[in-house]
Structure 1
């Protein structure tokens, strides 16, 4: 069924995914309905479409388009026979049945103007079902597919919010149904981006192999059904923008190829907040100053999303850098002409800002209340993270994780596995949280290429595991998880070998050392970093077509082989630590090496070359989301990243347990 053209205009050559979604919804749904009926309308949504709208469009934007009320399709609703109605739905059997119920009675709920919009292609059987409801059909003024069936959580990050797909995909029981859903949703992502991408996938993954073929067929069908739709790298006959960029590459990855990354502790702000604190659908509850008295606090809910500019700025920074930056910004305000009465002195910027100091600043500077309140909010959250960090001795735990995963300790020594197992056993006996014990044993199992019988029993005994906990560890094999970590042979865990090691090399690589040759604080690097370097043609070598084949042969210019290597250019070093801190020098570096409290927005993004769309089946970790953003900024190459779900370590362990 034909779709509307994208609403994105040419002034912005690099619009964010969220902007594209917002423009499409406002133009192709609300403005399209307004053109045919000028009165106030009701908007009726199902859970899927409500999530899509919430992720990118504000209620103010909707109300501006003459929407008087938003109602749930799932709930009983009051009749509005004098008003038109817009239905925005997923094309599912359940939603269509509820739609028809609204017109099954003699007195329909709404007036004579009905607009039907679906997030993706409406299957023919469901279209026929609608046609048989004559009271509905005679009221329909528009029926269209908007092709937006995903959540644009970040400017260049999307999720399908499909954690329920984990067990079927990896147990292969009912996998076909979920592969079909994922492929359909990916088509809507590419339709929104105006991309008809070259498709590459992880050869070792059965899921990716199947998904690549299925998506290719569905994308071809979409192209055939929408002859007026344009795509980057295609003919400029439909739109001049088609010739401005080459065709994108869609890379399909499998969580099973790197199960370590979502389990490892990462001390960058976004990862830490989601890992250590309670965050539900981007909402967090923390202490905030009351409106009446800035020295008093109360529990308040906050959204950690793209609308919070400070969150967007600092989420990828190391926690120590975040606290230092927030303190310096607050003190900068206190030391300004307006804040001089507070007695701020030169050099105070070096001093840490306490929560009490912030409360005093808020009270004394009412004109800065809004910005100070936001700074205070994130200072509270970051301090909560550090409270958990200290209470759970995460510095020491992270050091064990790093040594397990890389086979190298913080002194650059490669200990024997027996030494590491002793340390893990001791750590397990001290741990109070059973979920934390499972997490550590999973890391040990993955790093050791599968624990031997004696070591496994030692650790399971130390962890005091239940039978179901032990089964969760065994489910790594059921998932097809790649073992071995990032290490050299005959040391901690032995050589991982095979596909996994071919991605990361024998060790972390020389780009993980600082200018003095000292081993970086985080020896472990998410496998995704090397994959992206290969995909963009900026690593040691381009991404292997043997390990990551394309569905159809790719032109040489798009394969990455023509891209210049990054090895010839001067290395760029980031201020943030890559995921963990070590004892001694690492702890010292937290307060020294992660400075940079200066404020100021980054310049508008500009990119070279074609887009890369990276999609991970089975969940993407927050550290991987950060890697995508860092690589995008470093290389000036646009990277759109997405997954069936964005997951924490807790989420991943829970998903793994469902394979039992």
Structure 2
């Protein structure tokens, strides 16, 4: 069974919920950050089925529940620790099972801390009743979002600006430490204590050229510290020891600019897909019918059409959709007699009359609409001609794998084409600058004027220098032409037209191919530490690995049935592209390796251009999360219940009215009052999710039916 980051994290969360408190009923308490992590991997009903009465958020007002245990799954942040302390002091629950989603360290001194910052841990341990109330406290490394089975992101698009903006130098160190923590979470979740290699560019002069080296060192220190305190890490396995690559966006400046014509990448490039906690696309369902509606459709890993088709070339995708519909007609007699050809329009017309299987019908309609819209934009924006020039600029060779001729004239012709939009024009200019290894200052101005781009796009061109590109060069340039990081192989046979506009291969894919063959350059991709042939891994729990002994194993590129698959993790600082994600899947399918990709966020060409422009924006206008005021625990958590008011003595008349004359004055009784003292009042919680809440709601409805409140 293939390894899946989504399933690994789902099982980790459910196992934690299942084992906390045994079979006792419990409340699950989360915070805003940990809730997003949990919701991304696990359905709420799956959690409630594990003896969880309801799910509460620690920042919200909640009722006292002193008769029930509580499982906390929380982000390791100072204000969240304050919230926990408030709950402990009020003894809100019976017992506390504290689980942190990641380790944290003291940023000030950057000393690795296994669990909590010492000051936070001492606050919890220093509470007098902590030993009595806290049943267990540990770290569950899940501080990342599995986007796909082989793709993990941190949902941090500000990472690019933090790493490469010249005014953010004071933030880089702490941000690298934060990234290292999350990378370690990915490794620990996969039970990998990997060898670490990092990207070290040759003859680099830009300031960010050392980012990968520093990040690799932080990750190595974190992994070593984690293994030092956990003798069971990693769990013994027959797999060869994994490899972790630390790279950044500067390793491949062309990948986010080149038009990609596989379904997923093309859709994210051309269509208004919304990315947030959910991935959605607005489309029309039941078009032309009485039930026609416009809806935001979610694109998930449960969508088989999406998962099976996202890496197909658009030509192959359209053929696959038609072929799948042909099979559908054969399996459904009501459509089998139709002689209409199985085209995309035919499929849409047939689906419009299908009332059953609504969910599957909507998913099919979604992808038909997306495919049609992407192909419409492909024709409208003349992307075939744009891509032909892009491929020459990105690869350095034409479709015959020779040096391109008249490439400048082809570029200018496209800049004059009204069908080519501003975004495509800027992408072409950036690729041309990268291809030429810099331009004369006058030529840059001419290209900008000719393309009629706004001044901020001129800033984007010069900002590319912050990523290692050479922007300007003198008239007589003594430097040799830029050499590609990897040389691309010539095809064995002539290529079709649709393949010729997809010749470009990402450097991630070429790096992985060299790694598997055992020919990856150790000077450009060094290890964080030398590994000798007689050096075993920590605790002797993993097969020995070294530069020499590992080479024959990695050189075996053909999959062998039954062999344990080595895992390779690639981290790209500053954002990853969908073409790079596809590359990792392709290498996994072609070899006996499991390749995983991790990054701060996913880059579309539009986002990449916007972030390059922002590299020259005043830092104060960026609104970086690390520069915002630190969140504080809500004040209501520290509010004390008001002291109970003393009951006033009963008036004599009241006493006389309740006197039993037959039994003497000793039988005087007070009538019960309907007033409730303030001491018994509790905070009114917001509507919560859970089985008990649903049962109470049903009881209330039943009482109203019987007339109990009349």
TM-score, structure 2 length as denominator? 0.74
Q: Does 1:190 align with 2:178?
A: no
- The verdict on how the C-alpha distance between 1:399 and 1:69 changes in structure 2, with shifts beyond 3 A counting, is farther
Alignment correspondent of 1:111: 93
Alignment correspondent of 2:343: 352
- Equivalent position to 1:27, from 5, 11, 15: 15
Alignment correspondent of 2:704: none
Q: Distance in 1 between matches of 2:102 and 2:176?
A: 15
Q: Does 1:554 align with 2:562?
A: no
**SS of the residue aligned with 2:344?**
coil
**SS of the residue aligned with 2:552?**
coil
Q: Distance in 2 between matches of 1:518 and 1:316?
A: 15
Give the drift of 1:646: 1.7
- Equivalent position to 1:612, from 563, 568, 592: 568
Q: Distance in 2 between matches of 1:316 and 1:360?
A: 26
Q: Distance in 2 between matches of 1:430 and 1:386?
A: 15
Alignment correspondent of 2:159: 165
Q: Distance in 1 between matches of 2:492 and 2:67?
A: 66
Is the Cα contact below 8 Å between 1:330 and 1:358 reproduced in 2?
no
Q: Distance in 1 between matches of 2:20 and 2:312?
A: 43
Is the Cα contact below 8 Å between 1:408 and 1:415 reproduced in 2?
no
**CA offsets, 1:437-496, max 9 Å, x none?**
433332222222122223211121133344433222211111224789xxxxxxxxx975
- The verdict on how the C-alpha distance between 1:518 and 1:162 changes in structure 2, with shifts beyond 3 A counting, is closer
Give the drift of 1:384: 2.2
Q: Distance in 1 between matches of 2:492 and 2:297?
A: 36
Alignment correspondent of 2:137: 143
Alignment correspondent of 1:599: none
- The verdict on how the C-alpha distance between 1:483 and 1:517 changes in structure 2, with shifts beyond 3 A counting, is farther
Q: Distance in 1 between matches of 2:244 and 2:434?
A: 28
- Equivalent position to 2:333, from 334, 338, 342: 338
**SS of the residue aligned with 1:215?**
helix
Give the drift of 1:102: 4.4
- Equivalent position to 2:251, from 244, 254, 257: 257
Q: Does 1:154 align with 2:148?
A: yes
RMSD over aligned Cα atoms = 3.2
Is the Cα contact below 8 Å between 2:281 and 2:299 reproduced in 1?
no
Alignment correspondent of 1:51: 36
Q: Does 1:642 align with 2:593?
A: no
Is the Cα contact below 8 Å between 1:41 and 1:84 reproduced in 2?
yes
Give the drift of 1:394: 1.9
Q: Distance in 2 between matches of 1:374 and 1:332?
A: 17
Q: Which runs of 5+ in 1 are unaligned?
A: 1-11, 232-241, 485-493, 573-603
Within-5 A mapping of 1:498-647:
498=483, 501=484, 503-505=485-487, 508-511=488-491, 514=494, 520-537=500-517, 542-554=519-531, 558-559=546-547, 561-563=551-553, 608-647=564-603
**CA offsets, 1:396-450, max 9 Å, x none?**
22222223223444466621443244234324x6545x44443333222222212
Alignment correspondent of 1:390: 379
Larger RCO, structures 1/2 (Cα 8 Å, 6+ apart): 2
**CA offsets, 1:41-97, max 9 Å, x none?**
1332332x2232233222221121133433444444555555433322221123223
Alignment correspondent of 1:221: 225
**CA offsets, 1:323-374, max 9 Å, x none?**
221222123222335234x6323xx55x4131x653434524x455443332
Q: Distance in 2 between matches of 1:658 and 1:339?
A: 57
- The verdict on how the C-alpha distance between 1:549 and 1:372 changes in structure 2, with shifts beyond 3 A counting, is same
- Equivalent position to 1:444, from 396, 420, 432: 432
Q: Distance in 2 between matches of 1:343 and 1:420?
A: 51
Alignment correspondent of 2:69: 84
Is the Cα contact below 8 Å between 2:461 and 2:471 reproduced in 1?
no
- The verdict on how the C-alpha distance between 1:84 and 1:547 changes in structure 2, with shifts beyond 3 A counting, is same
Q: Which runs of 5+ in 2 are unaligned?
A: 104-115, 202-208, 473-478, 534-544, 617-710
Q: Distance in 2 between matches of 1:483 and 1:547?
A: 23
Within-5 A mapping of 1:57-456:
57-77=42-62, 80=65, 82-102=67-87, 110-121=92-103, 122-133=116-127, 138-170=132-164, 171=166, 172-204=169-201, 205-231=209-235, 242-279=236-273, 280-281=275-276, 282-289=278-285, 296-340=291-335, 343-345=337-339, 348=340, 351-354=342-345, 357-364=347-354, 366-410=355-399, 414-427=404-417, 431-432=420-421, 434-456=422-444
Give the drift of 1:213: 1.2
Give the drift of 1:34: 3.6
Q: Structure 1 stretch 294-303 or stretch 447-456: which is displaced more?
A: 294-303
- The verdict on how the C-alpha distance between 1:19 and 1:361 changes in structure 2, with shifts beyond 3 A counting, is closer
Q: Distance in 1 between matches of 2:11 and 2:554?
A: 36
- The verdict on how the C-alpha distance between 1:112 and 1:422 changes in structure 2, with shifts beyond 3 A counting, is same
Is the Cα contact below 8 Å between 2:196 and 2:244 reproduced in 1?
yes
Q: Distance in 2 between matches of 1:456 and 1:395?
A: 25
Q: Distance in 2 between matches of 1:421 and 1:353?
A: 34
TM-score, structure 1 length as denominator? 0.79
Q: Does 1:656 align with 2:612?
A: yes
Q: Distance in 2 between matches of 1:301 and 1:220?
A: 45
- The verdict on how the C-alpha distance between 1:124 and 1:564 changes in structure 2, with shifts beyond 3 A counting, is closer
Q: Distance in 2 between matches of 1:298 and 1:517?
A: 38
- The verdict on how the C-alpha distance between 1:644 and 1:555 changes in structure 2, with shifts beyond 3 A counting, is farther
**CA offsets, 1:179-206, max 9 Å, x none?**
1011111111111111111111112241
Give the drift of 1:654: 2.3
**CA offsets, 1:91-134, max 9 Å, x none?**
11232233334456xx56x4222222111122222212333455
**CA offsets, 1:198-256, max 9 Å, x none?**
1111122411101111111111110011112334xxxxxxxxxx241121111111211
Q: Distance in 2 between matches of 1:482 and 1:307?
A: 44
Give the drift of 1:545: 0.6
